[in-house]
Amino acid sequence: MLPSIASLALLIASASAHLLPPSEHTQETLQGPVQDEDYHIPTIHESTVMARRIMHLSSISTLITTFPAPSLHSILSGNASDDEQLTTWENRPPEMAGSPIGLMEYYADCEPASGNPTLLAINIASPYKNYAAGSNISMHIRWWPTQTNSYLSSLFSSSREEEDIPTPHTPAALPRFSLHGRLEPISAADLARHVVPACFMAAHPDSALWQPGNDIHTSQYMRFVVEHIYWFGGFGDRARIGWLPVDEWRSVTRAEVEAMRLPGEEKRRKGWGGRDWL
């Protein structure tokens, strides 16, 4: 027999009351029932290791930069630089100067001793052009183990793997973070010492097409030197939200990254389940 509209509405109402997340922006008292007895808010160190593991397992980021103002030189002389010719070509409205733009960018975790992610910069891509023109830069990375978008799906789900996710099973409950810092070219010696091209291509096989020296674009390997880390661990009643010390970030060891398990990762996965280090 089909449930009546009224009983369905009641089910959804009680489900939402149970599953609606507490405010994301406070570290205040618990607002919902917590089932796991051994649960605690991760420490700063644990949160930092989680962030380093997310950086290791993921390989897709969003790079955020701001558009430069047109240079005075080009306004006065009408002599446009390459960048300004490109600006004309891409039709950028002048009022975009100073406005931030976030675009997806590949990265790889190729220098784990320092925790600086590696980018393969194509010189004509907006983030690198903006950075070269004086923009600040930040990099957003997130953890999303399963493609689930709704609260209700977790109500009716019975799979083991999903039960491991301790909060309402939605992207909003999962950790993400923002790295702030600067870009610097990776020297030929460091490229060789850290096997950077092989590491990057293991994470991104299609990047073979725009490796340095290709016929289409000028590209080079860049190191994103991490200077500040903003961590958003999930809902404020059970995750840490705030800035993490960069010294913690840099001192995380490979063994700690390997031992950490993130929400939704299989707990008893044998051996090192992620991508191998080179």
Ligand X SMILES: *[C@@H]1O[C@H](CO)[C@@H](O)[C@H](O)[C@H]1NC(C)=O
Instruction: Using CB under 6 A, list all residues that contact ligand X.
Output: 66, 77, 79, 134-136
CB of 78 to ligand X, least distance (A): 8
CB of 58 to ligand X, least distance (A): 26
Give whichever of 243 and 272 is closer to ligand X, judged by the CB atom. 243
Give whichever of 82 and 163 is closer to ligand X, judged by the CB atom. 82
CB of 103 to ligand X, least distance (A): 18
Give whichever of 204 and 228 is closer to ligand X, judged by the CB atom. 228
CB of 113 to ligand X, least distance (A): 26
CB of 43 to ligand X, least distance (A): 27
Please choose, from the candidates 71, 99, 106, 141, the residue with its C-alpha nearest in 3D space to the C-alpha of residue 219.
106
CB of 164 to ligand X, least distance (A): 39
Give whichever of 118 and 130 is closer to ligand X, judged by the CB atom. 130
Give whichever of 131 and 221 is closer to ligand X, judged by the CB atom. 131
Give whichever of 15 and 101 is closer to ligand X, judged by the CB atom. 101
